[in-house]
Amino acid sequence: MGEGPFVSAGRPLRVVGVDENGYGPLAGPLVVTRVVVEYEGEDPLEDLRLAWFPTLPVRDSKEVFRRTLRSYARGEAVALWLLKEAGITPRSTRELWEVLTPESAQDLLSGPWGLDLPLPVWAERTGEFPDLRAAVRIVEIRSRLLLPEALRGKNKHRMNLRAFLEHVEASGAPWALLGKLGGMVHYAPHLPEGTQIVEESRDRSVYDTGRVTLAFVRNADSRLLPVAMASVVGKYVRELLMLSVNRLLGHDEAIPWASGYHHDPRTRMLVAEAQRRGWDITRP
C-alpha cells in the first residue's frame, strides 16, 4: 500500500479533496466534486501524496478515462469502487444523481441529460482493488453540477471557486486539498475576513481561515489522493451526462460519440443537432 510517512494523530483527521471536470469544453456541464476522507496523520499535504499509494488504481482522471471502450470500462470500475467505499451503490444514473448530486437531480430527469442509464454502462464488473481502508476511509462523496444554462452570462471562474468553497464548508473538514483554478496564485481576497496567508506560490497557495486550512495545489489531481479521487468521480459523472445527450441525439456508440471539447470536430456537429432539438448545451 505504499510507505508514506504517516504519523498517528491519535484520532482520525478529516480531509476534503475537491476538483473540477469540464472547465474548458464547448459543451456539457462543469462538475465540481468533493471526496471526504479520514486517516491517522497530521500533514495531508505530505501524508496523502498520490506517490505513496502506487498500488491504488486512482490517478488523474485524464489518465484513467481515455477515448477507448477498455479505458472507459476501467475508469467506471474505479469510480464505482470509490462510490461503493462511500456507501453509494446506484443501479442507474437516476439513482446516482439522487444521492451524489441531489441539488441537480430534478434538472437531470429531462432534456439532454435525462436518459436513465442502467449501471454499470461500460464495466463488466466493478473490479478487485486493494483494500483502501488500510490507508484512508472515504466518509462522503458529493458532486455539484453547473449546467450550461446556469453558467451563461455569469463569471465561470467565480462560480467555480464558489462551488469549491461550498464543498469545503459542507464537508466540515479542518483540512481542504484543492486543485488550483487556472493557475491562480492569490486566493485571499475571495476568502473569509481574517484569513491568514501561510504560503502563496505558483506551486501551492495555503491559507488558514481559523476553522480550516485551505491548500490550493498545482496539478493536485495527479499529486494528492483525495483530489485524484474527486477527479475520477467527477469525470465519470461528466462522461455519463455526455453519453446521455449523445444517445438521445441518435449517436449510440459505446462511449460518447462527441466529447464536448473544442478540439473534437464532432462536438460542433452535436451542438448543432442539439439546437435543432431545442437544446442549447453550449458553455460561455
- Which sequence spans correspond to the domains of the chain? 13-172+222-276
At 6 the pLDDT is 47
Neighbour count for residue 251 (Cβ, 10 Å): 16
DSSP annotation of 188 reads G
DSSP annotation of 147 reads -
Band (pLDDT 50/70/90 cuts) for residue 26 is: very high
Closest Cα to residue 175, out of 9, 50, 15, 8?
15
Residues contacting 111, CB < 8 A, separation 6+: 279
Residues contacting 266, CB < 8 A, separation 6+: 257, 258, 259
Q: What is the pLDDT of residues 144-194, one digit of tens each?
A: 999 999 998 899 999 999 999 999 999 999 999 999 998 899 999 999 999
Q: 114 is written with which cell numbers?
A: 435525462
Rounded Cα gap, residues 74 and 57, in angstroms: 9
Rounded Cα gap, residues 56 and 36, in angstroms: 17
Mean predicted lDDT score pLDDT of the chain: 93
Q: First vs last Cα of the chain: how many Å apart?
A: 42
Band (pLDDT 50/70/90 cuts) for residue 5 is: very low
Residues paired with 49 in a beta bridge: 224
At 130 the pLDDT is 80
| Helix or strand holding residue 24 (H, E) | none
The reported pTM is: 0.94
Rounded Cα gap, residues 274 and 148, in angstroms: 13
Rounded Cα gap, residues 217 and 234, in angstroms: 18
| Fold annotation for 13-172+222-276 | Nucleotidyltransferase; domain 5 (3.30.420)
| Distance, C-alpha 233 to centroid of its chain | 5
At 126 the pLDDT is 63
Span 4-13, average pLDDT = 61
Cell 464488473, located at residue: 125
At 129 the pLDDT is 83
